[in-house]
Amino acid sequence: MTIYDILQSLYSKSEVDFISGLEEELQMKLSQDNFISKEQRQTYVFNVLSTKQMLNHLNNPAISIRGLKMVNKIKRLFVLNGRDFVQYMFNQLKGHDPSDEELQQYLIFLNRMSKKEVYLRFLSAEISNSTNDMHTGNAIGIFLGYHFKLLLRGEGIGGFTVRLMNGLLANDPSVSLVIGVDTMNSEEVHLLVEDLLERYKERISIVSYNHPKELNNIHVNGWIVPYVGLKNACCLRRPIILCIHDLVYTHFPKNSILNQRQTEEVDETVKQLAAKATKVIFNSEYIRQEDGLKYLGLPKDKTQVIRLATPKEEYENYNVVGYKEFVEKYNLYRPYIVFPTVVRYYKNHVNLIEGFFHYKKSHLGSSSPLQLVFTDDNLHRARSDELTNLLLDADNQKLLNDIVILGRLPAKDIPSLYKYAKGTIVPTLFEGSCPFPILESLLMETPVAVSRIQVTYELLGSFDLFYHFDPTSVTEIAKAVYDLEHADEECGTKQKKSTQHQLNRSWIDVANEYLDVFREMGGYE
């Protein structure tokens, strides 16, 4: 006999017999005049029989044998977790294993509520209604199915995904998110979204899989694939919105961090996913034209530009620490300019360092106390031979103390890093979307010097109020360093004012444009 059968037999009893079979505490809560519905009885049975004192609740000899069986089964059920919990619950209450679809659905519920709530709703048949609601609601999939283990926190894709998810959830209370992740990265994804889970626990589900095809049993309106290298997204059956931030390996084939075989594999994945996607999203018109229309040959109506936003809301929630506290923490007692980004070839760290040294050796900068600050300690990634030669050059040895490598800072300290800098210099040879240090710096009214590249011009509209330079020219970079060191106090404020429209764009705005794409696809109400 299953637990379901036992409960049904209890429900058939009169109210008086039902109550008399339970403990005195329960009897005190219910007067004899109360009408006890079937649903109420189930609630009380579960609450009583799932406690440590459950045996003491079975005072009625007529149900003690059945009750004992029930207690043993419930005790067994609640020491199980995840898949085992769902499978045992189905076996005991329905007498059969769950289907793959049912298994995935109940794993989602376990992410949203306690075992007790899942079990109780299962007994009362409310869970089937909840499942139907889930099928027809605005459930959006976020696919983070990397096929290798990685650290998403601190990486650009991780930050982009969290900000987009926050925008989607804040935008519309009817939206729920299902995050699909390979089992090996499940813990990392939980850490990545832990702040969101605190605020939106009932609306976020993290589904770990052993094979990505398992996600096809999950009912979502469609999947957002935030990175074009996620080849396992090819297994998804629901509509896909593919995000292509850039295909940097096509712009710098000789300086890619990938070897030839890896490049070919990534390129094959890119082309497969782009062909499969219902819509392909770019963050700039430049990349849409160069990578989307020209390189991939995508139909124009399959592509769309959705520009990114600043982390304005995050910065507002962080408290800028006092100057003394900050400089003591990071030993930044001298004036400094900063370039806070990960090291990549196209980020142009080598030319920046060479330009900085050039300035410090000139008559204008020879007595300057200025330091150059980086936030990535992997400088070896940046044209390593050139960098090594540059740093080992005897003429540069005395200047090495002017290069400060902080490593990655906690997110809460980044606004202070900008706030107390003389300026931010962004020397990139290439960007696929918004060069974030520009806007992040201007949020703190710290002036910026920028390289003259297409995406930056697209973002700013004009270079008139900005220090700007050719990123391949060491002398122009040196001039930009001088300009930042001697910028007047109003420079950052004027630059900020000229970009107010871009700075006011929020991640809710970004999310709403993604929801518009779902509406176009018929996958959002």
- Closest among 178, 155, 220 to 524, alpha carbons compared: 220
pLDDT of residue 142: 96
pLDDT of residue 74: 60
For 316-350, what is each residue's pLDDT tens digit? 888 899 999 999 999 999 999 999 988 888 999 99
pLDDT of residue 124: 47
Q: Which residue has the tokens 């589904």?
A: 207
d(CA 285, CA 262): 27
d(CA 382, CA 350): 7
pLDDT of residue 70: 54
Q: Coil, helix or strand for 165?
A: helix
Percent of the residues in the chain that have a pLDDT greater than 70, as a whole number: 77
Interstrand relation of 240-244 and 222-225 (parallel, antiparallel or unpaired): parallel
Residue with the larger pLDDT of the pair 31 and 37: 37
Q: Specify whether the backbone of 395 is left (phi greater than 0), alpha (psi in -120 to 50) or beta.
A: alpha
Task: Decide: 376 and 408 in contact? Cβ < 8 Å.
Answer: yes
For 118-158, what is each residue's pLDDT tens digit? 776 566 443 334 433 443 468 999 999 988 888 787 677 88
pLDDT of residue 360: 94
Reported as type and span, the H/E element at residue 223 is strand 222-225
Whether the per-residue pLDDT at 501 is higher than 70: the answer is yes
d(CA 103, CA 99): 6
Residue with the larger pLDDT of the pair 33 and 416: 416
161 burial via Cβ count (<10 Å: 0-12, 13-18, 19+): buried
Whether the per-residue pLDDT at 18 is higher than 80: the answer is no
- Name the token pair of 123: 């007994």
pLDDT band at 384 (very low <50, low <70, confident <90, very high): low
pTM over 0.75: no
Reported as type and span, the H/E element at residue 479 is helix 474-485
For 161-212, what is each residue's pLDDT tens digit? 999 999 999 888 889 999 999 989 988 999 999 989 988 888 898 888 889 9
Q: At what angle do helices 115-123 and 100-112 cross, to 10 degrees?
A: 130
- Closest among 521, 523, 506 to 175, alpha carbons compared: 523
Instruction: Identify the DSSP state of 304.
Output: E
For 385-403, what is each residue's pLDDT tens digit? 777 777 777 677 778 889 9
For 367-383, what is each residue's pLDDT tens digit? 999 999 998 776 655 55
Interstrand relation of 336-339 and 240-244 (parallel, antiparallel or unpaired): unpaired
Instruction: Identify the DSSP state of 295.
Output: I
pLDDT of residue 135: 38
The mean pLDDT of the chain is 81
pLDDT of residue 92: 67
At 239, the amino acid letter reads P
Task: Decide: 345 and 254 in contact? Cβ < 8 Å.
Answer: no
d(CA 364, CA 271): 51
pLDDT of residue 152: 80
Which residues partner with 175 through β-bridges?
138
